[in-house]
Amino acid sequence: VDCHAHGMALLCMTAAFALSTPAYAARVGSLARASALRATAVRMMAIAAKPEGTPGTEEFKVTFADGADAKSPWHDIPLEAGDGLYNFVNEIPKYTTAKMEVDTKAPHNPIVQDEKKGKLRYYHGCIFWNYGCLPQTWEDPNVKGNDDVGGAFGDNDPIDVVEIGSKVIEMGAVTKVKALGVLSMIDDGELDWKVIAIAADDPMAKELNDIADVEAKMPGVVSGIREWFRWYKTPDDKPLNGFGHGEKALGAKEAKEVIEETHGFYKKLLDGTTDKGKLWIP
């Protein structure tokens, strides 16, 4: 292209100026982030959950892989899903009783049924919500909480999510969710955050943006979650679980702050700043 001609020279100068503006730089940054999110979505689509063994046996588990390459639902699935949403790994479908969880100590962290004293664990009644965790988060057992949670330390697990949508989500499914609030449960002296969220494609998702919306449009859900988790261990002669922050469910802003904090703890775990102990880290 001959940019030495007067008209083309002017055009090139104008283009160069436009490309140097902060607005253009911001636009490029925005496009780059969008491209990265699309690339992440493509990679995630390649990670598939696969049940192995017979449910109700010690051999049953849900593994994750990208083709022939084993993947971890904790480490290989990104926390953020774009547009302020998060990727939720479902461990326990609603209306079921088997106590399933990501095995943080096993290679590639499959979902397995928890055991106690050599026996598979079951809830004494079904759970009424989809229940799982957020990848790339970790409640650091070395970090002492503030007075709002009685100084409790983290429970050494990814942060839990209670998904309140209308659909039953399959075990191992990865779903985009909107964080609406969070409860600071204290379980056996450990801080065990419960993020309250809803699937982004749920019919109610557009109407719910904060915990106050849940209280107004789905009355009884927040108190139901609180009481279910308060009482669920008592049939095993365990004490009631407690809650920090005066038992209040904190809002979406605070939930996102807690998620970001636990993501920070996770990054320190991954880079070796925090000792991993018996946890499996790739």
Report the catalytic residues.
123
160 token code pair: 């839990």
Exposure of 30 in the CB half-sphere (CA atoms within 13 A): 7
| Nearest-angstrom CA–CA distance, 191 and 173 | 26
Which residues are registered as beta bridge partners of 132? 90, 161
Do the beta carbons of residue 91 and residue 111 sit within 8 Å? yes
| Nearest-angstrom CA–CA distance, 207 and 94 | 22
Phi, psi of 29 (to 5 degrees): -60, -40
Indicate if the alpha-carbon torsion angle 29, 31, 34, 40 is positive or negative: negative
